[in-house]
C-alpha cells in the first residue's frame, strides 16, 4: 500500500504501529501529550490513537505548534511528491513546492514576499493565485511551507556539522543570524546553540569534510543503480563501485545564491540495513550543503515512492519495484552528455566524454588516486574552438548542438534545473540545432526529473515491448498507445524496459 493511499486515521495509525519504512515521509504524526511530531518509523513507544494527529507535511504539523522529534529527525525523511497528469492545481502546487524546496533559491537578502513573487512569476501566475491554490492543496501558505523547509535544513546542519551559527543561518536562507535565532527559537522553543549542544556527539567530520545520512523508501535496487551509473562513468570526474560495496566518488561544482562558486567532492556508501545513504561532503561544499543534499537526492532518486509507481506499472513490469530513474548533479552536464551519446554506443559516448572532461575540465583538489576534474562550464564550451572538439571525435553536428546549448544556458535563455517547467524546456531543446525529440525527452527524464518523460522512437524500448522497429509513425504511435497505461510514471517504465524487465505476454 502506498503512503499516498492512507487518508484516514485508522490506516495511518496501523502504518505507524508497523513502523514500515515504505510510509516514511508520506505522513507525520503529532503527539498531543508531548507536543512533538515524528516520522512513522520512529522507534519511540507508540502513542495511543487518541493522542495522535496526522499530517501530510511537516509544515502542517509545525503550523499546529508541534516540534520535530529529536530522535527520528523529520528533516531526514524522504520527500513526498504527488504527481498528477490532469489536475492543474496539483501540478502548479507541485512545481511551486519544487522551487521553494530548492536551497539555491533561498536568497536571504530578499524578503519572503518578493521571493514568492519570483516563484509565481516563473510559474506564470499571480502571487495571490499561487497562495490560494497552494493553501487549498497543502493546507499551509507558501511562506509557511518555505519557513519549515529552511528551519528543518538548519536543524540538520546544527546536528550533523560544526558550521558556525552564522554559516548555518546563511546556508538555510535567513538574511541574518538575528532573524535565524528568532525564527528557530520561536518555532522550536530552544535556541540554535542549545540544539547543537544536545547533539554535540553526533558530528562526524574528517579532514574538514562532514558526513550526513539521507533516507529513502524501500525497496531500492542499489546494485542496479550503481551499475547504470558505472556503465556511463567518466573517469576524470567520477567513480562508481558496482560490486557488493556499492560506493561512489564524484567531483562537484555549485553556485550559491550570491553566485559564488563552490567546488569540492562528495563520496558515499549505502547502509542498506538502515535504509540510508551515508554521504561525505568535502569542506569546499559545506556552505552550500543543503543544495548538495538536494542534488544528491535528485541524482539517486531517493524521494521516489516505489509503491505508488509500482501500482501503475506492475502489470507490465512485475519484478522491478526497486528500480529508480537516475538523475544528475548538474542539468547542463547531463544535457551535454546526452548530446555526445546520440546515435553511438554507451561505451563510445563514455570515451568521448572522458576526453572532453580531461581536456577542458578544471582541476579540483581531491584525495590521492581519486577523480580530480570538474565538468566543463557553459562558458568554456560556448567559446571552445571547433577544432578542439573535433580532435576529441565530436562530429560537426554535435559541436553545434553543444555550443548552442552552452550559449543558451549562459545567457539565461534555458533552465536545466529539476524545478523548471518540463514541457516548456523540452520545446526549447527541440528547437535547438542537433537536439531531437528523443534527446530532449531523455534530458527531461534525468535532468528535469519529469516522471512522465517518453523518449519517442527508442529502438531498445520497441524491441523489449515486442514492437516493430520505430522507423514509421505507425510503430511509434503503437508504443505511445501502450505507454498511456503507465502515466504519470512513464520514465520509470522506460527504465524498467531498458533493464529488460518487461513481462512477456504469457507471464502476464
Query: Lowest-pLDDT range, 133-137, 227-231, 503-507?
Result: 503-507
From CA 286, how far away is CA 292, in angstroms rounded? 9
Q: How many Cβ atoms sit within 10 Å of the Cβ of residue 477?
A: 12
Catalytic residues: 38, 458
Q: What percent of the chain stands above pLDDT 90? A: 71
| Same fold? 3-76, 205-287 | no
Q: Residue 89: pLDDT above 70?
A: yes
Arithmetic mean of pLDDT, 184-201: 87
From CA 205, how far away is CA 311, in angstroms rounded? 41
Q: Residue 4: pLDDT above 70?
A: no
Q: Residue 506: pLDDT above 50?
A: no
Q: How many Cβ atoms sit within 10 Å of the Cβ of residue 143?
A: 16
Arithmetic mean of pLDDT, 424-431: 95
Q: Nearest to residue 220, comparing CAs of 311, 304, 130?
A: 304
**pLDDT value of position 103:** 85
Q: Residue 77: pLDDT above 90?
A: yes
**pLDDT value of position 9:** 87
Q: Nearest to residue 449, comparing CAs of 346, 363, 334?
A: 334
Average pLDDT of the residues of the chain:
90
Strand 238-240 relative to strand 247-255, pairing: antiparallel
The DSSP result for 268-297, as a single string, is: EEEETTTTEEEEEE-GGGGGGHHHHHHHHH
Q: How many Cβ atoms sit within 10 Å of the Cβ of residue 8?
A: 8
Answer yes or no: are the C-beta atoms of 334 and 328 closer than 8 Å.
Answer: yes
Binned at pLDDT 50, 70 and 90, residue 40 comes out as very high
Q: Residue 58: pLDDT above 70?
A: yes
Q: What percent of the chain stands above pLDDT 70? A: 92
Domain 91-198 sits in CATH at 1.10.10.60
**pLDDT value of position 374:** 98
Cell of residue 440, nine digits:
530532449
Structure confidence by residue, pLDDT tens digits, 352-362: 999 999 999 99
Cell of residue 484, nine digits:
498511456
From CA 5, how far away is CA 310, in angstroms rounded? 13
> Residue 481 phi/psi, 5° resolution?
-65, -40
Q: Residue 210: pLDDT above 60?
A: yes
From CA 190, how far away is CA 181, in angstroms rounded? 9
Distance of CA 242 to the CA centre of its chain: 21
Q: Residue 73: pLDDT above 70?
A: yes
Q: Residue 116: pLDDT above 90?
A: no
Binned at pLDDT 50, 70 and 90, residue 94 comes out as confident
Arithmetic mean of pLDDT, 407-414: 95
From CA 495, how far away is CA 306, in angstroms rounded? 13
Arithmetic mean of pLDDT, 486-499: 93
CATH class of the domain defined by 3-76: alpha beta
Q: Residue 505: pLDDT above 50?
A: no
**pLDDT value of position 85:** 54
Which of the four CATH numbers 3.30.1300.10, 3.40.1190.20, 3.30.310.20, 1.10.10.10 does domain 205-287 have? Answer: 3.30.310.20
Binned at pLDDT 50, 70 and 90, residue 207 comes out as low
Element (H, E) at 55: strand 52-55
**pLDDT value of position 1:** 37
From CA 398, how far away is CA 133, in angstroms rounded? 43
Binned at pLDDT 50, 70 and 90, residue 399 comes out as very high
CA distances (Å), origin 230, targets 226, 370, 401? 6, 15, 26
Answer yes or no: are the C-beta atoms of 399 and 406 closer than 8 Å.
Answer: no
**pLDDT value of position 6:** 43
> What is the 8-class DSSP label of residue 44?
S
Domain 328-448 sits in CATH at 1.10.340.30
**pLDDT value of position 204:** 60
Q: Residue 405: pLDDT above 80?
A: yes
Binned at pLDDT 50, 70 and 90, residue 3 comes out as very low
Strand 67-68 relative to strand 36-38, pairing: parallel
From CA 223, how far away is CA 163, in angstroms rounded? 34
Cell of residue 469, nine digits:
522497429
Q: Which residues contact 483 (CB under 8 A, 6 or more apart)?
A: 454, 490, 493
CA angle 483, 450, 273 (to 5 degrees): 100
From CA 76, how far away is CA 214, in angstroms rounded? 6
Binned at pLDDT 50, 70 and 90, residue 419 comes out as confident
**pLDDT value of position 501:** 74
From CA 133, how far away is CA 141, in angstroms rounded? 9
Q: How do the domains of the chain map onto residue ranges? A: 3-76, 91-198, 205-287, 328-448
List, in sequence order, the alpha helices (H) in 140-201: 142-160, 165-171, 177-188, 192-198
Cell of residue 293, nine digits:
543534499
Answer yes or no: are the C-beta atoms of 82 and 90 closer than 8 Å.
Answer: yes
Amino acid at each position: 500500500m502506498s503512503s499516498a493511499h492512507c487518508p484516514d486515521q485508522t490506516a495511518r495509525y496501523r502504518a505507524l504501529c508497523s513502523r514500515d519504512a515504505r510510509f516514511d515521509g508520506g505522513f507525520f504524526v503529532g503527539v498531543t501529550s508531548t507536543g512533538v511530531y515524528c516520522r512513522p518509523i520512529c522507534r519511540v513507544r507508540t502513542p495511543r490513537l487518541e493522542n495522535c494527529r496526522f499530517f501530510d507535511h511537516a509544515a502542517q504539523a509545525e503550523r499546529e505548534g508541534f516540534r520535530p522529534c529529536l530522535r527520528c529527525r523529520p528533516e531526514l525523511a524522504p520527500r513526498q511528491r504527488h504527481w498528477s497528469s490532469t489536475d492543474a492545481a496539483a501540478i502548479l502546487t507541485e512545481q511551486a513546492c519544487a522551487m521553494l524546496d530548492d536551497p539555491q533559491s533561498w536568497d536571504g537578502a530578499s524578503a519572503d514576499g518578493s521571493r514568492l513573487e519570483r516563484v509565481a512569476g516563473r510559474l506564470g501566475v499571480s502571487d495571490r493565485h499561487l497562495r490560494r491554490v497552494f493553501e487549498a492543496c497543502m493546507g499551509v501558505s507558501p511562506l509557511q511551507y518555505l519557513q519549515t523547509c529552511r528551519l528543518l535544513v538548519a536543524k540538520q546542519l546544527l546536528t550533523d556539522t560544526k558550521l558556525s551559527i552564522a554559516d548555518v543561518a546563511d546556508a538555510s536562507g535567513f538574511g541574518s543570524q538575528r532573524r535565524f535565532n528568532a525564527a528557530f527559537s520561536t518555532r522550536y522553543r530552544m535556541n540554535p546553540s542549545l540544539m547543537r549542544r544536545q547533539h554535540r556527539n553526533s558530528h562526524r567530520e574528517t579532514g574538514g569534510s562532514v558526513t550526513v545520512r539521507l533516507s529513502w523508501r524501500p525497496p531500492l535496487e542499489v546494485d542496479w543503480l550503481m551499475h547504470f551509473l558505472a556503465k556511463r562513468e567518466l573517469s576524470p570526474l567520477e567513480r562508481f563501485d558496482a560490486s557488493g560495496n556499492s560506493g561512489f566518488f564524484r567531483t562537484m561544482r555549485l553556485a550559491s545564491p550570491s553566485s559564488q562558486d563552490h567546488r569540492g567532492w562528495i563520496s558515499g556508501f549505502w547502509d542498506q540495513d538502515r535504509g540510508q545513504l551515508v554521504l561525505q561532503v568535502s569542506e569546499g561544499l559545506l556552505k552550500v550543503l543543503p543544495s548538495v543534499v538536494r542534488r544528491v537526492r535528485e541524482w539517486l532518486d531517493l524521494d521516489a515512492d516505489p509503491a505508488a509507481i509500482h501500482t501503475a506499472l506492475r502489470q507490465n513490469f512485475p519484478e522491478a519495484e526497486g528500480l529508480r530513474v537516475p538523475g544528475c548533479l548538474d542539468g547542463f552536464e547531463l544535457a551535454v552528455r546526452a548530446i555526445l551519446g546520440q546515435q553511438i554506443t554507451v561505451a563510445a559516448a563514455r570515451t568521448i566524454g572522458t576526453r572532453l572532461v580531461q581536456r577542458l575540465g578544471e582541476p579540483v583538489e581531491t584525495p590521492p588516486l581519486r577523480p580530480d576534474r570538474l565538468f566543463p562550464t557553459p562558458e568554456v564550451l560556448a567559446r571552445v574552438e571547433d577544432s578542439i572538439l573535433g580532435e576529441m571525435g565530436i562530429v560537426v553536428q554535435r559541436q553545434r548542438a553543444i555550443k548552442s546549448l552552452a550559449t543558451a544556458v549562459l545567457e539565461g535563455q534555458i533552465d536545466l534545473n529539476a524545478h523548471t517547467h518540463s514541457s516548456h524546456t523540452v520545446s526549447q531543446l527541440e528547437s535547438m540545432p542537433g537536439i531531437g525529440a528523443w534527446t530532449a525527452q531523455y534530458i527531461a527524464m534525468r535532468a528535469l526529473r519529469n516522471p512522465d518523460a517518453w523518449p519517442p522512437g527508442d529502438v531498445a524500448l520497441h524491441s523489449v515491448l515486442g514492437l516493430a522497429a520505430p522507423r514509421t509513425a505507425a510503430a511509434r504511435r503503437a508504443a505511445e498507445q501502450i505507454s498511456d497505461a503507465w502515466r504519470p510514471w512513464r520514465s520509470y517504465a522506460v527504465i524498467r524496459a531498458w533493464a529488460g524487465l518487461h513481462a512477456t505476454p504469457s507471464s502476464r
